[in-house]
Structure 1
Amino acid sequence: MFFEGGSWHNRMQVAFSAYIASSRSLPTNKKLIIDKTRTNIGNAYSTSNGIFTAPVDGMYAFHWTMTVLKGYHSIIRLQVNGSNKADMYAFARNYPNHYSPSQSYVTELKKGDQVNLYNSGSSGYVYGSYSTFTGYRL
């Protein structure tokens, strides 16, 4: 708790940092499951279903990077409650080995809102541990 403007506020810490454990093809037109976490303060990110569930109302920031093998491409979307909010296009056509684009998105969430990544492009091939999904409460 902290004191601001004459009243006390609850500042629950929420943060996660997840990565794909091993290199693999991405499923086409499906939710991505980023299956390993380095940090999961508040236990709001699930490695079993790839969904972040906001434990409290607030402003949240999300960032994702996908390292795509040469010759593959994907459109990785951030979804909030199933609605597309931000896209990241990964096309490693003219790169020597791979390409690592990233994207960020800041949004207000209500308790229980769900955030996930979704591959709406073709089946890309991503490198494990270099492909990440991070989020935290501001």
Structure 2
Amino acid sequence: MRETHGNMMDTERRIQEAQQKMAETHAEIMTAQKNIQENLADINEKIKLLEQKDEMLEARRGKDVIAFRAHKVADKSVADNQVFVFTKVVLNEGNGYSSTNGYFTAPISGIYFFNSQLCGMENRYIAYAIVSQGDTRSSGLFMPYKLGTCTSFSGAVRMRIGERAWVTINSNGSPSSDLIYEDSREWNYFSGFLIR
């Protein structure tokens, strides 16, 4: 009987120890579960912040893209220092270029790169320029050696919002109606884009 009683006491002690270990394990599991839930809440909060930043970047992405390209001169008989108007607009992201008056108006402040090509009549000098706010930013003198020979010119310009840029020529005494040539292969154009 003593032996049986001793075995029962030993078994009861082991059961109590097992119950104690189970209670400790249960507490550890509950703590781990709480930590996991807190970490998940933190991760979900960070995901929401990243999604908001992504939406903001996506909304901004289209607004910072400023680029245009237009060709086909409205009037080949331009007077000295008259703005060339290029009527066929093939690109106008940011709506900065006007095919009505030939001006590019900066929708946002920044550094812009402009490029233009003019094609001339044979043996007629053309003094060309890209102008911004009345200041010449790129210029040169060109005399086509044959009909339809073209020259291109470019320049980078720092502009504030609302400032304008355009292409113009000086005929250097030649009749202005005899200066510019254009056909289906030789295009006169004006293009530009925001660098930053």
TM-score, reference length from structure 2: 0.59
State the alpha-carbon separation in 1 of the partners of residues 74 and 103 from structure 2: 19
Please, which of 27, 35, 44 is the counterpart of residue 96 of structure 2? 44
- The one-letter amino acid paired with 1:61 is F
String of CA shifts for 1:29-56, please: whole Å, max 9, x gaps. 3121112211011110001000000000
Q: Which one has the bigger helix percentage?
A: 2
State the alpha-carbon separation in 2 of the partners of residues 116 and 22 from structure 1: 14
- Structure 1 gaps of 5+ residues are none
TM-score, reference length from structure 1: 0.82
- Secondary structure (helix, strand or coil) at the match of 2:86 reads coil
String of CA shifts for 1:73-100, please: whole Å, max 9, x gaps. 21111111112221032211xx233321
Q: Decide which structure has the larger Cα Rg and report it.
A: 2
- The one-letter amino acid paired with 1:107 is V
Greater relative contact order, per chain length (Cα 8 Å cut-off, separation 6+): 1
Deviation at 1:71, TM superposition (A): 2.5
Please, which of 161, 165, 170 is the counterpart of residue 111 of structure 1? 161
Deviation at 1:126, TM superposition (A): 2.4
Contact kept? 2:127, 2:140, Cα under 8 Å: yes
Contact kept? 2:106, 2:164, Cα under 8 Å: yes
Q: CA RMSD for the aligned pairs?
A: 2.1
Deviation at 1:21, TM superposition (A): 5.0
Percent of aligned pairs with the same residue?
A: 22
- Structure 2 gaps of 5+ residues are 1-52
Rate the CA distance shift 1:76–1:54 in 2: closer, same or farther, 3 A: same
State the alpha-carbon separation in 2 of the partners of residues 22 and 33 from structure 1: 6
1:79 aligns with 2:131: yes
- Aligned residue for 2:119? 67
Contact kept? 1:75, 1:87, Cα under 8 Å: yes
